[in-house]
Amino acid sequence: MSTESSVAKEAINGVRTALGIAGVLSLIVGILILVWPGRTAMVVTAIIAIYAIVGGLVYGGLGIFSKSMGGWSRVGHIILGVVFIAAGIFAFFNLAATTGWFAVFLGILVGIMWIIEGVVSLTTLGDAASKGWTIFFAIISIVAGVVLLFSPLLGAVVLWWLLGISLVVLGIIQIVRAFTFGKKSV
């Protein structure tokens, strides 16, 4: 019985540690977004640029060294690798401009997704359990999507701030959960 109790305590401590680490990381990233929104956006853009360069190297390597691919497949992989590498290098040399472009792109993308989501909600109105809430959601989604399309940069900035606030709140909640998790169980 003491072995089961010690295993349970270890499991609870593992969960508490995971909650605490995730909470602290969420809190730190959220604070960084709120204090330095532009710089954190640039860091995210730099991470994406690194990903593009690494992905380009992988695609290029597959195209050059693969023995099982056909000729056109290899050429396609090499071209894709060159494009990815060029995009990553371009992003690094123009980090501020790329960050702005990325924000506008995400604003437009989210706007389009919200409009589609609102329209799809309206098309499923017949199957909805609550027609009023479905119509309300659809209207809000379509209006928010249109606003984002007309002002994607401002919309992306607002979404970035909401992400920062959400991460701070989530971080605090997870830290509290780390201290309280399993207190009554064992």
Return d(Cα 39, Cα 30) in angstroms, integer: 13
- Range with the lowest mean pLDDT among 54-63, 74-83, 127-136? 127-136
Q: What per-residue confidence (pLDDT) applies to 10?
A: 86
User: Taking phi first (over 0 means left), then psi (-120 to 50 degrees means alpha), and beta for anything else, what does residue 40 get?
Assistant: alpha
For residue 148, give the nearest of 120, 117, 119, 106 by alpha carbon: 106
Higher pLDDT, 1 or 60: 60
Domain locations along the chain: 2-180
What integer is the mean pLDDT of 82-89? Answer: 97
Rg for the chain, CA atoms, rounded: 23
User: Taking phi first (over 0 means left), then psi (-120 to 50 degrees means alpha), and beta for anything else, what does residue 69 get?
Assistant: beta
Query: Which pLDDT band holds residue 11 (cuts at 50, 70, 90)?
Result: confident
Q: What per-residue confidence (pLDDT) applies to 185?
A: 54
Query: Which pLDDT band holds residue 173 (cuts at 50, 70, 90)?
Result: very high
Asked if 41 and 103 count as a contact pair (C-beta separation under 8 A), the reply is yes
Instruction: Give the CA distances from residue 123 to residues 74, 119, 132, 161, in Å, rounded to whole numbers and listed in that order.
Output: 44, 6, 14, 32
Residue 114, class by beta-carbon neighbours within 10 Å (0-12 exposed, 13-18 middle, 19+ buried)? buried
Query: Which pLDDT band holds residue 160 (cuts at 50, 70, 90)?
Result: very high
Cα 11 versus chain centre, distance: 29
